Amino acid sequence: MSLRPFRDIKRRKTKVINVGNVKIGGDNPISVQSMTNTLTTDVKATIKQINDIAEEGADIVRVSCPDEDSSKALKEIIKHVSIPVVADIHFHYKRAIEAAENGASCLRINPGNIGDETKIHEVLKAAKNNNCSIRIGVNAGSLEKDILEEFKEPCPEALVKSALRNIKILEDKDFLNFKISVKSSDVFLSIAAYRQLSKVIDYPLHLGITEAGSFVSGSIKSSIGLGSLLMDGIGDTIRISLSDNPTQEVKIGNEILKSLNLRNRGVKIISCPSCARQAFEVIDTVKILEEKLAHIKTPITLSIIGCVVNGPGEAAMTDIGITGGGKGNNMLYISGIQNEKVLTDDIINKVVSEVEKKASELEN
């Protein structure tokens, strides 16, 4: 059971590009990305982290290629992972060529930082020959010198000018398989830049608040920034930048999309903050259930409410619900209908069993 959204978000129409087997833009689902923080030359560790990121629900992963050994390591890494790999390139054009030749599905570059047109042409040729897309990554912290001199400081207009300049470089070479980002660590600057850019181009946009910070503060900044843009229909793929384990970035990204009814994956838990009315320990119960239900990929809604004030109403709108009752007798709801009483000590096992059963029914 799922609620009909109060307001359907009308997504901005963009061109469709391919990042490996993942389509970005158009009516395709908004994809979630993360980035490894292992040394790329440590092939074993990088493979493990990519697979952990994929298991958490990422569609795409980015890997840094600062040197020749890193870009060549991609060839072995890509053999052992299930999601497309984006090679993160900054200045040296040869790293981009090597990454494309070694299996990268996308190159993250700033064409303006690559060098003269001959080098850019070589990168684009390698990308075309290897069915490799490109992300133009404009960042407030690394704007071109002349643009900074013109605008005096990073501002929305400066980021958009850099983006349009870099877009023209690719368009002039008839390379159109690209997406673009205009990131900043400042929420207001990022939102304004993306809004301005979305009015003048129809290429897919990669959203992010760069260097957002620690898990709590970075998640909040990203939720505000990306949430505002997504509610405007802007954005085709997202990355949450946290000083934390990359799997946490994926978790927050998927939660943002779930909260906006833009994408559903796994169990969506509706739970109360708990109070003196609670008939069981709501907070601990939710934490345990999140862990035990992390393996469920099928979209299912679950309400965990500690008392009968809001419990029945929430349960009526979810697939499965538990409402706290007196003397340890709590009520289990299935598809909004009272099903059976459940003792407090049995809540975890009962809910896990019912969710797994529901997931199996939906999958079949």
Residues 279 and 174 in one domain: no
Give domain status of residue 237, yes or no.
yes
Range of the domain at 54: 17-259
Asked if residue 2 is part of any domain, the answer here is: no
Span 327-352, average pLDDT: 94
Q: Identify the pLDDT of residue 7.
A: 60
In a domain, 12, yes or no: no
| Mean pLDDT (the chain, rounded) | 93
What's the rounded mean pLDDT across residues 244-254? Answer: 96
Average pLDDT over every residue of 139-159 = 93
Domain boundary among 204, 232, 259: 259
Q: 208, 197, 186: which is closest to 160 by C-alpha?
A: 197
Tell me: pLDDT of 1 over 70: no
Give the percent of the chain with pLDDT over 70. Answer: 98
Q: Are residues 86 and 105 in the same domain?
A: yes
* Domain shared by 255 and 287, yes or no: no
pLDDT in tens, 189-244: 999 999 999 999 999 999 999 998 999 999 999 999 999 999 999 999 999 999 99
Residues 227 and 358 in one domain: no
Task: State yes or no: pLDDT of 4 exceeds 50.
Answer: no
User: What pLDDT score does 118 carry?
Assistant: 86
Q: Is residue 75 part of a domain?
A: yes
One domain for residues 147 and 52: yes
pLDDT bin (cut points 50, 70, 90) of residue 3 is: very low
Mark whether 222 and 284 lie in a shared domain. Answer: no
* CB 203 within 8 Å of CB 14: yes
Q: In this structure, what CATH number is given to the domain that contains residue 176? A: 3.20.20.20
Angle between helices 187-198 and 215-231 (to 10 degrees): 30
> Do the beta carbons of residue 1 and residue 319 sit within 8 Å?
yes
- Specify if 85 maps to a domain: yes
**191 and 219 together in one domain:** yes
Where among 236, 259, 282 does a domain terminate?
A: 259
Q: Give the pLDDT confidence score for residue 239 in this predicted structure.
A: 97
* Final residue of a structural domain among 243, 259, 275: 259
Q: Is residue 5 part of a domain?
A: no
Q: List strands edge to edge, sheet with 337-343.
A: 267-271, 300-305, 320-323, 329-334, 337-343
- Are 59 and 195 found together in one domain? yes
Q: Do residues 279 and 326 lie in contact, with contact meaning Cβ atoms separated by under 8 Å?
A: yes
pLDDT digits (tens, 9 = 90+) for 165-186: 999 999 999 999 999 999 999 9
pLDDT score of 178: 97
Residue 5 in this model has a pLDDT that exceeds 50:
no
Q: How far apart are CA 148 and CA 346, in angstroms?
A: 62
Same domain, 223 and 310: no
Residue 2 has pLDDT above 80, yes or no: no
First to last CA, the chain: 16
Same domain, residue pair 285 and 334? yes
Domain presence at residue 310 = yes
The verdict on 294 and 161 lying in the same domain is no
- HEC assignment per residue over the chain: CCCCCCCCCCCCCCCCEEECCEEECCCCCCEEEEECCCCCCCHHHHHHHHHHHHHHCCCEEEEECCCHHHHHHHHHHHCCCCCCEEEECCCCHHHHHHHHHCCCCEEEECHHHHCCHHHHHHHHHHHHHCCCEEEEEEEHHHCCHHHHHHHCCCCHHHHHHHHHHHHHHHHHCCCCCEEEEEECCCHHHHHHHHHHHHCCCCCCEEECCCCCCCHHHHHHHHHHHHHHHHHCCCCCEEECCCCCCHHHHHHHHHHHHHHCCCCCCCEEEEECCCCCCCCCCHHHHHHHHHHHCCCCCCCEEEEEECCCCCHHHHHCCCCEEEECCHHHEEEEEECCEEEEEEEHHHHHHHHHHHHHHHHHHHHC
What confidence score (pLDDT) does residue 61 get? 98
pLDDT value at residue 28 = 96
pLDDT of 282 above 70: yes
Of 16-25, 114-123, 267-276, minimum mean pLDDT range: 114-123
CATH number of domain containing 305: 3.30.413.10
In this structure, is residue 7 part of a structural domain? no
Percent of the chain with pLDDT over 90: 85
Tally of domains in the chain: 2
Other CB atoms closer than 10 Å to residue 173's CB: what's the count? 16
Q: What are the pLDDT digits (tens) for 50-71?
A: 999 999 999 999 999 999 999 9
For 101, the token pair is: 């030749």
Do 154 and 291 fall within a single domain? no
